Structure 1
Amino acid sequence: MKRNVLIIGAGGVAHVVAHKCAQHNILLGDIHIASRTLGKCRAIIDSIKEKGSQCGPGLLKAHQIDAMDVEATKALIRATRSQIVINVGSPFLNMSVLAACIETGAAYLDTAIHEDPDKVCEAPPWYANHEWKRRDACRAAGVTAVLGVGFDPGVVNAYGRYAMDAYFDEVQSIDIIDINAGSHGRYFATNFDPEINFREFTSTVWSWEDSQWKANAMFERRQDWDLPVVGKRTAYLTGHDELHSMSKNLGVPNIRFWMGFGDHYINVFTVLKNLGLLSEKPVRTAEGLEVVPLKVVKAVLPDPASLAPTYAGKTCIGDLLKGTRHGKPHETFIYNICDHEASYEEVGSQGISYTAGVPAVAAAMLIAEGAWDVGQMVNVEELDPKPFIRLMNRIGLETRVRDADGDRVLDPYEESPAMASITS
């Protein structure tokens, strides 16, 4: 059993992670929050106290750290006696925080793939370029490292694994669909770190089709989907983290990621990109100042965490699987609906942060209990999805299934009457 959690980062997702850890601190132990800006960590702690999120007695403490400094991160892990580290800081930190965990024996979790600040949209498979190079070191040290355990990547990986095992003989395609049908009322804002958001969409879109990588341009391919609760929505083919591990681990010939974008987002994005304002390369102004355009854009856009008070509407994120069952065509959509206003009421966050933060805490709880404490590096689809899905149902993210037999809440341990005809 592992106890005491160190949260790296103090943004919107870290805010959710800290609240949910506090709600379950009887299991998880002391909660520490660390980032470069101590004031942001303290603000999260104040929010936890205002919401009454802390379940039982235990330490809740803020720390200042540059997590790129491996030695400093190691020292903080040891000083706090943290056995679980949840890295929800910038993806630029992944390899440094992972190294600190390997050397201290702490379990490591993150919610996004590592990024090199000087490279945008590296060639696939991205995990092989960075995290997977530390697999042997994790195994040798007996360190559990669960990669990409937000929602996408993370929950959608578990959904794919579970649905393949439960509903299909063979799967031909997995389409991951991410729709935010909410509105924040601002002229323009991104739902997570603008720098990371724009870096995802400024270069080649990689998808896994016919068992090989296929390249497209951003916004080149679109498709309309009719989804539960949010209705008919347009989504665009987009490259995304989970494709890079699921393509390797699931043996499915077609795995694609589709994200919803409104016309306004696309127009603003296109103007910014065409003007060169989304470039990660520094430029020099007429006054001799060197600036990075993308960081300037980030600085003038709203902090995603600030969107929460006015956010209304819902998200729908899930996996549409197509294949065969007993030799006949079969299709299943396994998904979650998250309400922005309900997320704000519970923990003071918007739904995008909520969907990313809750799964990381569920994974930490499974590591603390031992179910997912596997002593090696894994992606989510390599783990048993059943305890993960059931736990998320209990702590804030309910999973549902829609297929020919209807739409129902999924309890992965209890086969419902609707499923009987499928699995018989």
Structure 2
Amino acid sequence: MKKNVLIIGAGGVAQVVAHKCAQHNDVLGNIHIASRTVEKCQQLVDSVREKGSLKVAGELQAHALDALDVEATKALIDKTQSQLVINVGSSFVNMSVLQACIESGAAYLDTAIHEEPEKICETPPWYANYEWKRRELCEANNITAILGIGFDPGVVNAYAAVAVNEYFDSVSDIDIIDINAGSHGKYFATNFDPEINFREFTGEVWSWQSSSWVSNRMFEVKRTDDLPVVGEHTSYMTGHDELHSLSQNLNVPNIRFWMGFGEHYINVFTVLNNLGLLSEQPVTTAEGQEVIPLKVVKAVLPDPSSLAPNYQGKTCIGDLVKGKKDGKDKEVFIYNVADHAEAYSEVGSQGISYTAGVPVVAAAILIANGEWDVQKMVNVEELPPKPFINLLNTMGLPSRIRDEEGDRALSF
């Protein structure tokens, strides 16, 4: 059994991860949190202790770390005797942390695809540009590396796998729909790192259609769905991490990702983008100072973690899957509904962070107990989905399914 966890990152998702690891430290062992700013890590440690989240007595410590420094990350893994590394830092550090895990022997988990600061929306499939290049190295060193194990990507990949394997003879379409029906009360804010958030929407929108990559612009294609609990919402087709692995690992010709946006968000985003303020490329001011517009916008927007206390409402995220069963057309919607206020009450974070943070801890538990300790690099749809979904049902993210038989809890 693998023990001891090193959490890299100290944002809103890391807060959830820290609390959930503490709630399961009888399985996961000692907990260490590291980021560039040790004070932020200590705030997470204090939050866990204040809420009494530790299930059993154990270490809970904060550390300063530049996660781009492979040698420093290796040294911290060795110092803390961590066998599980949960990377919920910036996507820019993925490859450095992964390399440190390969060289130190620790299991690696992340929640988003790697990015390079100066590049946006690279040639798909994006995983092939970075992570997948180290598949052979992971397998040669018996390293378990689970990529994209948040909610989307992550849980939605497991939903896709269970739909394909359990409910259909053939699948024609998977539409992943992400709706946040909550309100944070701010004029404008993003629910996670603004820099990463905006980068998803300023380049090409890639989708998998008729078994090939199709490019659109953001907000060009939309749909409206009547969803459980949150009701009728409009969402827009956008590119997203999970499309880049699902398209390669599942034999499904059409896989798309849809995210809900209000008119106010679209208007503000459009103005910022048209002014060039969402550019990742440096510009020089009249005073001769070089700045990156996107980083300036990030600096003036609210910290996503600051939204949690006043966040109200719910999220609905799931997979609408269509295909054939016994020669007949079939459709299922497998989904989760999360509540912002409930997330804040439990772990001090808003619902978006909660849905991203809980799954990676569930995956760490499955690695620790051997069920997902595959000793190679995988995306979530390549793993057995049933133990994962069942575990999430007990950890605050219950799954449901809606089909011709009605709407009911999903468990195995």
Relative to the length of structure 2, the TM-score reads 1.00
Q: Which residue of 2 aligns with 1:368?
A: 368
Q: Which residue of 2 aligns with 1:9?
A: 9
Q: Which residue of 1 aligns with 2:345?
A: 345
Q: Which residue of 1 aligns with 2:164?
A: 164
The CA distance in 2 between the partners of 1:335 and 1:246, in whole Å, is: 17
What residue identity is the alignment partner of 1:374?
V
List gaps (5 residues or longer) in structure 2: none
Q: CA deviation at 1:147?
A: 0.1
The CA distance in 2 between the partners of 1:234 and 1:123, in whole Å, is: 28
Structure 2 matches for 1:3-152, cutoff 5 A?
A: 3-152=3-152
Q: Secondary structure at the match of 1:219?
A: coil
The CA distance in 1 between the partners of 2:328 and 2:281, in whole Å, is: 52
Structure 2 matches for 1:300-319, cutoff 5 A?
A: 300-319=300-319
Q: Which residue of 2 aligns with 1:242?
A: 242
Q: Secondary structure at the match of 2:124?
A: coil
Q: CA deviation at 1:170?
A: 0.4
What residue identity is the alignment partner of 2:48?
I
The CA distance in 2 between the partners of 1:185 and 1:123, in whole Å, is: 37
Q: CA deviation at 1:287?
A: 1.0
The CA distance in 1 between the partners of 2:375 and 2:397, in whole Å, is: 27
Q: CA deviation at 1:166?
A: 1.1
Say yes or no: does 1:357 pair with 2:348.
no
Q: Secondary structure at the match of 2:235?
A: strand
Say yes or no: does 1:175 pair with 2:175.
yes
Q: Secondary structure at the match of 1:280?
A: coil
The CA distance in 2 between the partners of 1:281 and 1:104, in whole Å, is: 35
Q: CA deviation at 1:164?
A: 1.1
The CA distance in 2 between the partners of 1:284 and 1:275, in whole Å, is: 15
The CA distance in 1 between the partners of 2:122 and 2:256, in whole Å, is: 17
Q: CA deviation at 1:47?
A: 0.6
Deviations 1:110-168 (A, max 9, x none): 00000011101111000000000000000000000000000000000000000111110
Q: Secondary structure at the match of 2:188?
A: coil
Q: Which residue of 2 aligns with 1:280?
A: 280
Structure 2 matches for 1:198-277, cutoff 5 A?
A: 198-277=198-277
The CA distance in 2 between the partners of 1:336 and 1:123, in whole Å, is: 31
What residue identity is the alignment partner of 1:263?
E
Q: Which residue of 1 aligns with 2:196?
A: 196
The CA distance in 2 between the partners of 1:251 and 1:63, in whole Å, is: 44
Q: CA deviation at 1:328?
A: 0.3
What residue identity is the alignment partner of 1:97?
V
What residue identity is the alignment partner of 2:52?
G
Q: Secondary structure at the match of 1:241?
A: coil
Q: CA deviation at 1:288?
A: 1.0
Q: CA deviation at 1:233?
A: 0.2
Q: Secondary structure at the match of 1:201?
A: coil
The CA distance in 1 between the partners of 2:165 and 2:332, in whole Å, is: 12
The CA distance in 1 between the partners of 2:340 and 2:123, in whole Å, is: 34
Q: Secondary structure at the match of 2:242?
A: helix
What residue identity is the alignment partner of 1:387?
P
Deviations 1:165-205 (A, max 9, x none): 11100000000000000000000000000000000000100
Q: Percent identity?
A: 72
Deviations 1:46-73 (A, max 9, x none): 1111111111010000000000000000
The CA distance in 1 between the partners of 2:303 and 2:21, in whole Å, is: 23
The CA distance in 2 between the partners of 1:245 and 1:286, in whole Å, is: 44
List gaps (5 residues or longer) in structure 1: 414-424
Q: Which residue of 2 aligns with 1:185?
A: 185
Deviations 1:249-286 (A, max 9, x none): 01100000000000000000000001000001111111
Q: Which residue of 2 aligns with 1:328?
A: 328
What residue identity is the alignment partner of 1:77?
I
The CA distance in 1 between the partners of 2:169 and 2:226, in whole Å, is: 25
What residue identity is the alignment partner of 1:350?
Q
The CA distance in 2 between the partners of 1:165 and 1:401, in whole Å, is: 15
The CA distance in 2 between the partners of 1:329 and 1:114, in whole Å, is: 37
Q: Secondary structure at the match of 1:381?
A: helix
The CA distance in 2 between the partners of 1:170 and 1:90, in whole Å, is: 37
Q: CA deviation at 1:210?
A: 0.2
What residue identity is the alignment partner of 2:260?
G
What residue identity is the alignment partner of 2:81?
R
The CA distance in 1 between the partners of 2:166 and 2:290, in whole Å, is: 55
The CA distance in 1 between the partners of 2:278 and 2:185, in whole Å, is: 23
Aligned residues: 412
The CA distance in 2 between the partners of 1:204 and 1:268, in whole Å, is: 19
Q: Secondary structure at the match of 2:324?
A: strand
Q: Which residue of 2 aligns with 1:408?
A: 408
The CA distance in 2 between the partners of 1:165 and 1:380, in whole Å, is: 14
The CA distance in 1 between the partners of 2:185 and 2:232, in whole Å, is: 21
Q: CA deviation at 1:93?
A: 0.4
